Each structure stands twice: as structure tokens, then as C-alpha cells.
Amino acid sequence: MVPSPIRPVLGVLAAVTLSAGFGVVPQAHAQVPAAAPVAPLDRDGEISRDDSRPALLPEVARALNQRQAELNQASVEIAVAERTQQVNEFAKQRAKTEAATRYAEQVEKLGYDPKTTDPRDIAKAMMLKVYEWGADEFTCVDKIWTQESNWQWNAENPTSGAYGIPQSLPASKLATAGDDWKTNPATQIKWGLKYIKDRYGTPCSAWGFKAGHGWY
């Protein structure tokens, strides 16, 4: 006997009826996983994409590169500034050293400190440096030149024409000590001390002669 195709259908209907009668929950009410959200469509019916997000990456990279370049430039500028300061400080110290050396050479050459303005102090320095004459010999020089000119570089004898601190006669003899003999006390003192040395040997010997003769 050939099975009737109606029987399977009747079987299904019977199962459904029995399920409804006995309160069985159909499988259609079981939880189904939520579907993933569907991207919106654009006007052309294609899925639209947010192209702004990928574009941020190059901008961030450029910003980072720019910042790094600025930091590098700042580092270079700081290094250059520090090096420049070191060079300037070295130049200043070198200039001071060279100036001090030149000044010491000038003092050595002149026999006195060029900053000295008192002619008596100039004479003391020259006497000690050039002739090794001490305070006792300066006392004699002071007596001579106080009487002769009172240590005035422009003192001039109206009668004889003797001139300057040592009262050189004639006045032009002072030129052998320097071209500025008319106005520079140091030049006049230099000439006067040499004159005393050559003629009398020491200032006190010159004073001894002057004390007895009135001139030297």
C-alpha cells in the first residue's frame, strides 16, 4: 500500500494542536542574537564611510613632526647661545689678561705706574725701580726740587730760563727724555734723576753740593 501524502500533513497539524492545547511555548519565541547595525546608505544607495577619521592620522603626524622640529630648533638655539656666551666670556678674559700684560710692560718700561699723578710718587717709583734708591735718597731729592720748583712741571725761572721740576738749564735739555717734556712731569723727573745720577752719583750727594752752593 502506497503511503498517502496527506498523512504527514495531518501529523504536523496534530502536533501543533496538541502543543497549543497543553501550553507548550513554540520555538519561535526563543532569544535571537541582535543583528549588527547596518551602515546607512548614501544617496546612490551605497554604504557611506566616515572619511574624516583616517584623515586625522596625517594631521597628527604632521603636528608631531612640527613639534619635534620646534624642539630640535630650540635645542640648537640654546646650544648656540651657550657656546656664544662661552666664547664671549673667553674673549673678555683674554682681553683683560692682554690689557694687564700690556700695562705691566708699560710700568716696566716707564719705571712707574702711569695712573700715578703725584710727581713725588712718580719720583719714588722711578728711583726705586731704575736706580734702587730708597726713602733716604728720596728725602734729598725732595729737598732739592722743593727749593728749585716746588715740584711744579711748568715752573720757569724768569731770569735764567731754567724750566720744569728739575729746573733744567737750558730747558731744551729735557727733550732728551721725551717729546712731551714741556707738560709731562714724569718726563721731567726721568731727565732730572738721570742728571743727578750722572753728575753726583746719588741724590744726597747732589743735595750736599746744592746746600753749599745754592745750585746743583
pLDDT of 88 over the 80 cut: yes
Burial class (CB in 10 A: 0-12, 13-18, 19+), 145: buried
Q: According to the model, what pLDDT value does residue 132 have? A: 95
**Radius of gyration over every alpha carbon of the chain, rounded to an integer in angstroms:** 58
pTM: 0.58
Q: Where are the domains of the chain?
A: 58-110, 119-213
Give the ranges where the chain is alpha helix by DSSP (H): 6-21, 52-110, 119-126, 135-148, 185-200, 203-213
Please report which confidence band the pLDDT of residue 55 belongs to, taking 50, 70 and 90 as the band edges: low
Distance CA 102, CA 115 (A): 14
Mean of the per-residue pLDDT values for the chain?
A: 81
pLDDT of 107 over the 60 cut: yes
Residues in the chain: 216
The four Cα atoms 194, 195, 197, 199 give a dihedral, to 10 degrees, of 160
pLDDT in tens, 120-171: 999 999 999 999 999 999 999 999 999 999 999 999 999 999 999 999 999 9
What is the DSSP-derived secondary structure letter of residue 29? Answer: G
Mean pLDDT of 42-61: 60
Please report which confidence band the pLDDT of residue 56 belongs to, taking 50, 70 and 90 as the band edges: low
Q: Could you tell me which CATH class the domain 119-213 is placed in? A: mainly alpha
Answer for the pair 216, 209: CB distance below 8 angstroms, yes or no.
Answer: yes
